[in-house]
Amino acid sequence: MSLLSDPERRDWLRLARAETVGPVAFRYLIETYGDPARAIGALPRLAERAGRAVPPRVPSPAEAERELQAGAALGARLLCSGESAFPPLLAAIDPPPPVIWALGDPGLLHARAVAVVGARIASAAGQRFARALAQDLGQGGYVVVSGLARGIDAAAHEGAMNTGTVAVLGGGINDVYPPEHGALYRRIIEQGCVVSESPVGHRAQAKDFPRRNRLISGLALGVVVVEAELRSGSLITARLAAEQGREVFAVPGSPLDARAKGTNDLIRQGAALCEGAPDVLRVLDAMRGVSEPAPPAYGGPPAGEPEAALLERVAALLSPTPVSWDELARAAAAPGPQVYAALVELSLVGRAALLPGGMAVSED
């Protein structure tokens, strides 16, 4: 669709913020019911079928309108996943976020981009490398995406400031974290773009950062990790990039530096070695003219609602170990679309969690 009407946009936001409606369930509901208003109207019945007497809480029209007005007061723009203005690379991830807020120049979200991420407690050499890499990537025609964090992220934003940079936040579009990056945040708004999936005014919490990392990789054709310990958010971003079909690059480092262990391990696992911008540009420039990732196919809406017996059969097959929807369909001896619908209904009542990449776990 090209552009939602104001009532559709408000309802799109309401459904996106509804309790227990994650990106997978959101996409299913839109595909099945055609528009957000009808999907919202179906939630009570779907919840009751799956065993929940009280339906998921949906923000009222007034609540959604207040968020829209708060974003507009900041000068931010709400981009909905069904609109042509939504970033095409982000629309192709599985599943895309239903909505994002953009503050600054949203045109940068349609440009070819590279993400540069790394350690918060970064070495001086690592920060210098990230700054120079981002500058060279910008001069090579790429927007640089990062997460506004201390260390490598900040250096990458600074290096790409004059050519285009995008900062992805864990909190709301007006939640500057860390606080000392207020000046950098304002410069990015003026010269680049700030993006958030969270509600306006939301204060970032630990659980928000993996979701933010998924947007960082989703907005880019490739991710460069400059410094990272073996257990770090940057490695989560690299893993998400690989799952999204994006290129992963890693900067090698000394085996004596813990901040190089994560990047060296990425190279060991098959990430492309990056000693400078030419290593990245050579790979990504070769992809020009090749079709970029397309939105995932979900097989269309089911032929009908799943029977109560199938709901319970699918619920019994779930465990804390992630399992693919296809495997569940085989185990349940049921059509894939019906199992998909059953999983969505179970997720609406907190009996299942739907994970990116077509996986599910039990929440009971």
Q: Of 250, 285, 320, which closes a domain?
A: 285
CB 358 within 8 A of CB 325: yes
What share of the chain has pLDDT > 70, as a percent? 95
Domain limits at 327?
A: 308-362
2 vs 246 pLDDT, higher one: 246
pLDDT tens digit string along 286-305? Answer: 887 554 555 544 334 444 67
Distances, alpha carbon 315 to alpha carbons 181, 230, 333, 363, in Å: 46, 35, 14, 10
The answer on 198 and 241 residing in a single domain is yes
The total number of structural domains that make up the chain = 2
Classify residue 63: in a domain, yes or no. no
Q: Taking 90 as the threshold, does the pLDDT of residue 268 lie above it?
A: yes
The answer on 322 and 264 residing in a single domain is no
CATH code for the domain of 209: 3.40.50.450
**Mean pLDDT across the chain, nearest whole number?**
91
Question: At a CB cut-off of 8 Å and minimum separation 6, what does 137 contact?
Answer: 114, 116, 144, 160, 277, 280, 281
Classify residue 18: in a domain, yes or no. no
pLDDT tens digit string along 73-132? Answer: 999 999 999 888 999 999 999 889 999 999 999 999 999 999 999 999 999 999 999 999
Find how far residue 320's CA is from the centre of its chain: 23
pLDDT tens digit string along 305-353? Answer: 778 888 899 999 999 999 998 899 999 999 888 898 899 889 988 889 8
Q: Of 253, 285, 317, which closes a domain?
A: 285
The answer on 260 and 145 residing in a single domain is yes
Q: Of 285, 316, 346, which closes a domain?
A: 285
The answer on 281 and 312 residing in a single domain is no
3-state secondary structure of 111: coil
**Band of pLDDT at residue 53, cut at 50, 70 and 90:** confident
The pLDDT, as a whole number, for residue 298 is 39
CATH code for the domain of 341: 1.10.10.10
The answer on 276 and 341 residing in a single domain is no
What is the rounded average pLDDT of the residues 221-237?
A: 95
What is d(CA 108, CA 103) in angstroms, rounded to the nearest whole number?
11
The answer on 241 and 172 residing in a single domain is yes
Q: Taking 80 as the threshold, does the pLDDT of residue 1 lie above it?
A: no
